[in-house]
């Protein structure tokens, strides 16, 4: 496997593991991370991290038993598997050996050269300097080349190579009394050819301009009001307030407001939610998940009706369902979990400009940042990172420090206009201490009434 150890050894280990459970798996990975960072007009770091290892997993009696090693000699691999079998027999879980990461200077396995990376981030740094009030700038470019191979007791043997490219600029503006920070990212799962087409300086300039705009803006008004979520908001709400609640490990354990609600109406009939790992070039896309199952287009909510949850192998076995290709892990060091890929609300029939003009007085949300969601109740609070007042059906002056507070299912049920556009956002989704790359998206949406927090 990957030429580092005997394939016969791995298969013999799997045979031995399979004698103690319903499903056994070996997951080998070699990942190279190459990162260039510029900060305040100076190079901050250029680094290369190489990491490789193998993990074994056994599913038995509705439980997962898991172990991994970064030492790829035959004895350590065998000891890891033997310790895993011992843990199964004794009801224990999770073992690990040889926790080491090899960090070294830049080497020439990148899709772009070191000089290319430095030029990109230095140009981004210059582009973010839109005003002397920009007091802090950080620009980052990274490539993550991830090679994986999965062999399991079902006879599958699947190899996959994914290259993730990510760039962002964080810019902070200050007038001596107040500071405002803006963050704009770009990227996806593709190679150097596509990367060269990205407008790196454009996002850096946008970050600087947004920080300056928010610095000059007045505070948002507070209260109940109509809100239009622009497609540029990128689906943060559907990912956080809806998507997590449709992951089977939460839904099937009563940790989701959507638990036990299959085939029920859970949203406006205008709302259809899809999780689709097959979209080309998106950050959440792949051919196979981290359990060796093909990615798929999974319809979760259709015309307001809850159709399906997302499943990995474990919860598909527990619930007697077919897995949906949503078993993902940060690396070989982690067991797979049910995770989203590219999650979005499907476009509707309304023109975005008609949605805006239908609101006499309210808030237009162009982009959203972080927030908090209680998956059990569906309650959420989100930060608005770019917002504008709507007055007489027109997008007006910018406002800052706005938040949206509501309940996911209630908001999804209230939405009464869905745009014909679709805007994508990207990020890294955290769950149970693991982070995986994802994309979310939405059309322009009208919420007739929601609580807006301001100052």
Q: What pLDDT digit, counting tens, does each position of 334-378 carry?
A: 999 999 999 999 999 999 999 999 999 999 999 999 888 999 999
Give the confidence band of 227 by pLDDT, cuts at 50, 70, 90.
very high
Question: Is 254 a residue whose pLDDT tops 60?
Answer: yes
Question: Is 133 a residue whose pLDDT tops 50?
Answer: yes
* CA–CA distance, 344 with 364 (Å, rounded to integer): 20
| The pair of three-digit structure tokens given for residue 441, joined into one six-digit string | 């998206």
Supply the pTM of this predicted model: 0.93
Give φ, ψ of 32 to 5 degrees: -120, 125
Q: Where in the chain is the domain with CATH 3.30.2290.10?
A: 7-216
Q: What is the pLDDT of residue 62?
A: 87
- Given a contact cutoff of 8 angstroms between Cβ atoms, the answer to whether 37 and 65 are in contact is no
The whole-chain average pLDDT of the chain stands at 92
Terminal-to-terminal C-alpha distance of the chain: 58
Give the confidence band of 109 by pLDDT, cuts at 50, 70, 90.
very low
Give the confidence band of 253 by pLDDT, cuts at 50, 70, 90.
very high
Question: Is 278 a residue whose pLDDT tops 50?
Answer: yes
* CA–CA distance, 93 with 104 (Å, rounded to integer): 33
- Given a contact cutoff of 8 angstroms between Cβ atoms, the answer to whether 258 and 297 are in contact is no
* CA–CA distance, 62 with 315 (Å, rounded to integer): 8
Short-list 413, 416, 384, CA closest to 400: 384
Measure Cα distances from 42 to 48, 410, 417 in Å. 19, 48, 47
* CA–CA distance, 186 with 198 (Å, rounded to integer): 8
Question: Is 1 a residue whose pLDDT tops 60?
Answer: no
Determine what percent of the chain is predicted with pLDDT higher than 90: 81
Q: What is the pLDDT of residue 103?
A: 29
Question: Is 95 a residue whose pLDDT tops 70?
Answer: no
Q: What is the pLDDT of residue 106?
A: 27
Fold of 7-216: PmbA/TldD fold (3.30.2290)
């Amino acid at each position: 496997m990957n030429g580092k150890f005997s394939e016969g050894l791995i298969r013999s280990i799997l045979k031995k593991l399979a004698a103690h459970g319903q499903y056994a798996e070996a997951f080998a990975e070699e990942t190279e991370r190459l990162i260039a960072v510029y900060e305040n007009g100076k190079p901050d770091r250029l680094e290369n991290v190489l990491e490789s290892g193998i993990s074994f997993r056994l599913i038995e009696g509705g439980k997962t038993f898991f172990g991994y090693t970064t030492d790829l000699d035959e004895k350590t691999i065998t000891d890891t598997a033997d310790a895993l079998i011992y843990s199964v027999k004794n009801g224990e879980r999770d073992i690990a050996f040889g926790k080491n990461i090899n960090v070294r200077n830049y080497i020439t396995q990148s899709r772009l050269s070191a000089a290319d990376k430095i030029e990109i981030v230095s140009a981004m740094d210059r582009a973010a300097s839109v005003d002397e009030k920009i007091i802090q700038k950080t620009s980052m470019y990274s490539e993550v080349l991830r090679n994986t191979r999965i062999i399991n007791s079902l006879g599958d043997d699947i190899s996959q190579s994914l290259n993730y490219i990510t760039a962002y600029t964080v810019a902070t503006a200050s007038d001596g009394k107040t500071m405002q920070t803006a963050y704009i990212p770009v990227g996806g799962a593709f190679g150097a050819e596509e990367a060269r087409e990205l407008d790196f300086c454009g996002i850096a300039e946008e970050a600087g301009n947004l920080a300056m705009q928010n610095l000059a803006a007045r505070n948002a008004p507070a209260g109940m009001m109509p809100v239009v979520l622009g497609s540029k908001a990128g689906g943060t709400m559907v990912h956080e307030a809806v998507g997590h609640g449709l992951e089977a490990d939460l839904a099937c354990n009563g940790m989701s407001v959507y638990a036990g609600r299959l085939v029920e109406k859970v949203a406006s009939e205008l709302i259809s939610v899809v999780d689709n790992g097959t979209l080309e070039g998106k950050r959440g896309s792949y051919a196979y998940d981290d359990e060796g199952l093909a990615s798929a287009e999974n319809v979760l909510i259709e015309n307001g009706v809850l159709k399906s949850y997302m499943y990995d192998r474990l919860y598909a076995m527990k619930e007697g369902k077919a897995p949906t290709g949503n078993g993902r892990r940060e690396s070989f060091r982690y067991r797979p979990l049910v995770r989203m890929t590219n999650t979005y609300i499907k476009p509707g029939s309304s023109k975005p400009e008609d949605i805006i003009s239908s609101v006499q007085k309210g808030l237009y949300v162009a982009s959203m940042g972080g927030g908090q969601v209680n998956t059990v109740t569906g309650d959420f609070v989100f930060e608005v990172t770019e917002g504008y007042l709507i007055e007489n059906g027109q997008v007006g002056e910018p406002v800052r420090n706005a938040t949206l507070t509501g309940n996911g299912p209630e908001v999804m049920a209230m939405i009464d206009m869905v745009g014909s556009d679709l805007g994508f956002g990207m990020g890294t989704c955290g769950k149970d201490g693991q982070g995986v790359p994802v994309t979310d998206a939405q059309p322009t949406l009208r919420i007739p009434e929601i609580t807006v927090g301001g100052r």
